Structure 1
């Protein structure tokens, strides 16, 4: 059975370790990335202490599982090369042989990144919390100029790619009224054509064949609370972060997938925007070596488990089949952790509406910026109590648990076996 992994928060819930764990239960034919781009940061720590933050490679790479970047991905060849260098240093052999890329995937370039940073700087104190890597600019340019937006397939044609990069650079420079701080297109072309020569570029039909050959893990990026239409505008990403993209890819192959929503025992977010359950006193008790202040995103913010926001994410997605609950070691380190069930603005649920109305989402954001927790539960320090409480709050069973930063530790976990049921295992 295929499994779709989606974060039900603001990101950073532990998708990397969940995907890695699912790949360990194999055999897994491939990890398929279906949204976002190089701004993803999915951490995996091995038992021998090796650590990698996955951005574009799938989080099953350290287990030798191939990655496919679907047409919904925004591919940054320069960032991909840097990530490949680190994985090679960790001992992953023949890395590019594990990677295939849909020719239709849009390219993120240094021009997109430069424009992104200039635009965020111009917002001053009203920054959106962008990662500064050009993701929103890539999506916006592709919507405005669909025929001229460079794709992964263009990297196989130097003349076509050079034309598109020059046009992109000039249009963005004209928009800002100044030259962009980025390398010349000729230098980018050299790197991008090298990328095309290293990876396997695929056409329509490739992914469908992969999906029919065996079980696949479809790895989402960011979180549902950052969704371009359902997130709290304008503190969102230019990406559909629900199960929708993955299910569209599966449907094209006549396949279905199990919906696995990922949450952690405390709710976090990077940068500005609503975070109703934020509690600054938790931060020093729950420090994380792989999450911290981002140059462009801003501070890493920590709060109690926000059942209201996570319920909203579940409803936005149309429900989940099961949950993965990470950071179950946190309640022992911080016994004062709570599970917030309601806000002082009234009710235990946020309004869910069809996508498309950003003014409505902005109004919801304004409500949440002043909301405060009003009712909560205290599950205590017992991991089993937390799994039960979170499952009950979100209306789905917890079938996979993670108790620490490493992929395998001597703690009781649950995993999804090949027939889709949950089973208790001891690492």
Structure 2
């Protein structure tokens, strides 16, 4: 039995959902420890596609207990929408299979309003995540424990009235309809109540009993509030440190799995040294269907940045790598990989031969084109960590295993 953690090594959208779903089938528990509905994981399983924003990816496999930890921020409206969405697709969602920490903070319609008026320059998802974390740090937030103890509606009305008064003085955009928000939040909270409990004790119990536990990261390392490209970051710790504070339990992670996309993408504003605002970027976007699962926004695309990834590996201590979307590079005559930056901060590239053959769905290493194998080996040599898993397509079975994971 072992403990695993899956983290995005870049700016998110690396393909974590597929790996989490694969591992979840063999897990007893899957834990989400940070972020909120600003994350988007697309899971494809047995011909069906599931888009998850808040609930851990282990819910699809049906075996694991899924936990939304204390480090997350939870919108009750989105939570109930996602539960209903999964049930319509035939997924069993019950309090026995899904636990939400009573210590997690609540995202409200007020937070979404504030996100719209405050964070346009950052390029957020508009889901209210940053303002919810802001209230948490200011010690004025509402926690999910306020739902079962009966104080939730009063706390929400007080919260809305405080920001209504501020809005009237500061912002031009009309404030939310408080009465309507109270009604909708009250209905969602009542339905959510059975799922709320002590996640710390439950996680600790599974770890103590030697169960297989998987921590599922959201977004990516360089959106981390401390280690990311600040201020163009999210409002939580997306790196391995967030797993300890956001789960509330010390865990020895035997496998620290970094998910690396074979090229680089990011959504929203902020620096992107290897970005290609040209035909190459468009081609990568088209090949990879690079549009956000949460917002639908087109992702910015560019060459792989190994210098940046090296930093990610220092931060997270990855000892296993899953490389995704290698099939999206088929057809390029030449591939560029950033291996350093010059004095002006511009990327220094190494050029590698591309390949014309399609590689989607290949499951044997030796069947990959030689140039594709050389590209993968170059990445592995630079990062000095085994690329144990190569994802060659969107389906769960489209995997080449070079090193055993479980």
Q: TM-score range with shorter-chain normalisation?
A: 0.7 to 0.9
Using the alignment, how far apart are the partners of 1:283 and 1:89 within structure 2? 37
C-alpha distance 37-283 of structure 1, shift in aligned 2 (>3 A): same
Structure-2-length-normalised TM-score: 0.86
Is 1:392 the counterpart of 2:381? The answer is yes
Is 1:278 the counterpart of 2:252? The answer is no
Shift of 1:170: 2.0
Shift of 1:320: 1.4
C-alpha distance 79-200 of structure 1, shift in aligned 2 (>3 A): same
Shift of 1:415: 6.0
Using the alignment, how far apart are the partners of 1:38 and 1:290 within structure 2? 21
1:332 aligned partner = 330
Structure-1-length-normalised TM-score: 0.82
- The CA deviation string for residues 59-116 of structure 1, in whole angstroms up to 9 with x for no partner, is 1222113210111111112111222222112211244542001110111111111111
1:242 aligned partner = 239
Is 1:222 the counterpart of 2:225? The answer is no
Using the alignment, how far apart are the partners of 2:58 and 2:251 within structure 1? 24
Using the alignment, how far apart are the partners of 2:136 and 2:268 within structure 1? 26
Which residues of 2 match residues 247-258 of structure 1 at below 5 A? 247-248=244-245, 252=249, 255-258=252-255
Is 1:202 the counterpart of 2:202? The answer is no
Using the alignment, how far apart are the partners of 2:254 and 2:186 within structure 1? 38
1:173 aligned partner = 164
Is 1:80 the counterpart of 2:79? The answer is yes
1:103–1:203 contact (8 Å) kept in structure 2:
yes
C-alpha distance 94-261 of structure 1, shift in aligned 2 (>3 A): closer
C-alpha distance 293-61 of structure 1, shift in aligned 2 (>3 A): closer
Shift of 1:338: 2.1
C-alpha distance 116-379 of structure 1, shift in aligned 2 (>3 A): same
Is 1:212 the counterpart of 2:200? The answer is no
Using the alignment, how far apart are the partners of 2:234 and 2:77 within structure 1? 21
Shift of 1:386: 3.0
C-alpha distance 233-94 of structure 1, shift in aligned 2 (>3 A): closer
C-alpha distance 391-98 of structure 1, shift in aligned 2 (>3 A): same
Q: Give the match's secondary structure for 1:337.
A: strand
Using the alignment, how far apart are the partners of 2:326 and 2:206 within structure 1? 34
Q: Give the match's secondary structure for 1:302.
A: strand
Which residues of 2 match residues 56-71 of structure 1 at below 5 A? 56-64=54-62, 65-71=64-70
- The CA deviation string for residues 374-407 of structure 1, in whole angstroms up to 9 with x for no partner, is 2223163444323322222222111122111112
Q: Give the match's secondary structure for 1:184.
A: helix
Gaps of 5+ in 1: 122-126, 347-370, 419-427
Using the alignment, how far apart are the partners of 2:247 and 2:160 within structure 1? 35
Gaps of 5+ in 2: 356-368
Is 1:373 the counterpart of 2:368? The answer is no
Using the alignment, how far apart are the partners of 1:89 and 1:335 within structure 2? 44
C-alpha distance 74-379 of structure 1, shift in aligned 2 (>3 A): farther
- The CA deviation string for residues 168-215 of structure 1, in whole angstroms up to 9 with x for no partner, is 212222333265225332431221122113x25225422101223411
Shift of 1:249: 6.7
Using the alignment, how far apart are the partners of 1:59 and 1:116 within structure 2? 26
C-alpha distance 251-259 of structure 1, shift in aligned 2 (>3 A): farther
Bigger mean CA deviation after superposition, 287-296 or 172-181: 287-296
2:335–2:352 contact (8 Å) kept in structure 1:
yes
- The CA deviation string for residues 102-152 of structure 1, in whole angstroms up to 9 with x for no partner, is 11011111111111111124xxxxx111110011000001111x2x41112
Is 1:402 the counterpart of 2:402? The answer is no
C-alpha distance 377-322 of structure 1, shift in aligned 2 (>3 A): farther
1:271–1:297 contact (8 Å) kept in structure 2:
no
Which residues of 2 match residues 355-374 of structure 1 at below 5 A? 371-374=345-348
Q: Give the match's secondary structure for 1:240.
A: coil
Which residues of 2 match residues 104-119 of structure 1 at below 5 A? 104-119=103-118
Q: Among residues 177, 186, 189, which one is paired with 2:186 in the alignment? A: 189
2:361 aligned partner = none
Bigger mean CA deviation after superposition, 262-271 or 73-82: 73-82
- The CA deviation string for residues 289-318 of structure 1, in whole angstroms up to 9 with x for no partner, is 76426997954101010111111222233x
2:147 aligned partner = 155
CA RMSD of aligned residues (A): 2.4
Shift of 1:251: 8.2
Using the alignment, how far apart are the partners of 1:276 and 1:331 within structure 2? 19
